[in-house]
Chains A and B, each alone.
Chain A
Amino acid sequence: MADDANKVNGANEPPQQRVKPDPPGYFEGESMTRRHAFTIAAQGLGGLAGAAIILPAVGFAVAPIFHRGKERWEVVGPTGDFVEDTYRQIVFTETEGIGDAGKTTAYVRKGSKLYDEDPNSFVAVSNRCAHLGCPVRFVEAAGNFICPCHGGVYDFEGKRIGGPPVRPLDQFQTRVKNGQVEIGPRYSVTNQMDPVRARDPGEFTGGIWEYLYPPRPSTFPPP
């Protein structure tokens, strides 16, 4: 093929100045050799076939990140059951289908004017420690939430007053329906008790942390 190219070139030029195609093996006017073209095509097809297998599998494994489950509301008792100066411990199902492992604990009380809350609302504080997720318990005598794992302490409202936690305790949305208090999706709060989308324990909230620990699509918008 190189000879053919030379003949075409050589027709208009003196024979001694015949130009050899550079690089060798190209037809005139070609930008790549036949072998190079086939190599690229074969590799491209192989890559396509590989991607057709890998991408769905990876997507399947990663999909739960982008999936938000159905919103659950659970009745936890009549409004009269709850007072504003102490908590009542409620165990309810947060994740369905796995029995006791899917249950979580909330401490529920009536809204208090002391904390600028609507006295007709209800506050449900999650027992999930904001440090690494151990279960805190409300200690009546101290009026504090105390974590057994690494010594995190929260005040009556759920604000951190000691230990390693990075933010106040999470809360659950509440509503009253037919005289019954219902508990809904989880949300997190900033240090100023402003509601934000639920974060995992150990993640700061508020300010620049809203970008460093971005909200996940699998969580519900805050109230």
Chain B
Amino acid sequence: MPKLPTLKIPDAVVPPPLRKPPKPGSQGVPKGDAPSDLKTGAPPAKTHGDRVLDQAKEAPADVLAWVDTRMGGSGFLTGMLYRKVPKGTNWFYTLGSATLFAFIVQAVTGVFLAMFYTPSATQAYASISHINNEVPLGALVHGMHKWGASVMVILIFLHMGRTFFFGAYKYPRELNWVIGVVLLILTMTMAFTGYLLPFDQRSFWASIVGININGTGPVVGPYLSDFLRAGPELGATTLARFYAIHMLLVPGAIIALIGAHMYLVVKLGTTAPPWTKAERPKVAAPVAQLDAGVEGNGASPNGGSRA
């Protein structure tokens, strides 16, 4: 593919502070000579206004420095944000961040939905229709939460597929795969418990079917479904229980495990896509190695050991 020409923005359009500074020595100063602005004497005296402006410009950096002196997180942040990623990193690698973003959307919209929702069997449906029909933008926030749930489930599966097909679950990242599977289960738990909360016909019967599927596990199944329902029948405490699991228990676990997940991603680094070739050192290999296992020509050392 031919290289596309880079677009050159004329200097006149760019305001002076954003202009690329000239290379040293490019402005008629002979090589080896210091640039002209270094040769001049003391800089012009600053006015009071200039000094205040300078201080204002430095203020954010000063505040950060104040915090960093006491907390010392800059080294960690620099290491995390400027870490190296392998060659060939592509858009598939954004699926994890996309899942995280979907989770953040769920968390934020969920907080605001909780301000209007009533987890009571007799009032839940009315509070949801109040959100959808009367609260300004309520239908939008509820819709974001409802459809965002599906988006999160889809994204987490795509992310899992990417990890699987790129072989990114292999040593030393097995633990991160295990944490990811737990996160998948927790996400499904969120989807299951959240489905009951509107307490309409669909969610009521879907939860009954879901709980009964849980009950078909041998020996422990009947007790598990009693635990989920808080009794032998789906009742008022079932809704309260699902609500507590949905907004208190599981989100905390998900946040904690996302922390562990991302710590391991930063610590271990990401994998290169399976189709990238390992870089060979640029020194000549011994002739004996080149010949071993290579048919005919010794010019392709990469294919040598695979034959």
Using CB atoms and an 8 Å cutoff, list the residues of chain A in contact with chain B.
61-62, 64-65, 67, 69, 94-95, 97-99, 101-102, 132-135, 149, 198-203, 212-216, 218-219
Contacts and interface: CB of A to CB of B under 8 A. Distances in A.
B218 A213 contact: yes
B212 interface: yes
For chain B, what secondary structure do more than half of its interface residues adopt (helix, strand, loop), or is it mixed? Answer: helix
B164 interface: no
Interface stretch (B41-49, B147-155, B186-194, B231-239): B231-239
Interface residues of B, number: 30
Contacts of A65: 223, 226-227
A206 B53 CA distance: 86
Interface in B200-245: 204-205, 208-209, 211-213, 215-216, 218-219, 221-223, 225-227, 229-237, 241
A134 B223 contact: no
Interface of B: 121-122, 199, 204-205, 208-209, 211-213, 215-216, 218-219, 221-223, 225-227, 229-237, 241
Given A69-B231, A101-B199, A101-B204, A132 B213 contact: yes
Given A133-B209, A133-B212, A98 B121 contact: yes
B92 to A, nearest CB: 37
Contacts of B218: 212-213
Contacts of B209: 132-134, 149
B215 A101 contact: no
A64 B216 contact: no
Contacts of A200: 211-212, 215, 221-222, 225
Contact of A99 (B121, B225, B229, B230): B121
A201 B212 contact: yes
A133 B234 CA distance: 11
A65 B212 CA distance: 15
A97 B227 contact: no
A149 to B, nearest CB: 7
Contact of B215 (A64, A134, A202): A202
A145 to B, nearest CB: 17
A94 B233 contact: yes
A98 B222 CA distance: 23
A213 B213 CA distance: 13
A177 B236 CA distance: 30
A198 B236 contact: no
B213 A99 contact: no
B222 A64 contact: no
Contacts of A67: 231
B233 A102 contact: yes
B122 A98 contact: yes
A58 B235 CA distance: 20
A65 B209 CA distance: 19
Nearest to A66: B226
Contacts of B215: 200-203
B222 A203 contact: yes
Nearest to B229: A64
Contacts of A199: 222
A152 to B, nearest CB: 13
A203 B221 contact: yes
Contacts of B229: 64
A191 B227 CA distance: 27
Given A132-B209, A202-B213, A203-B221, A99 B231 contact: no
A218 B232 contact: yes
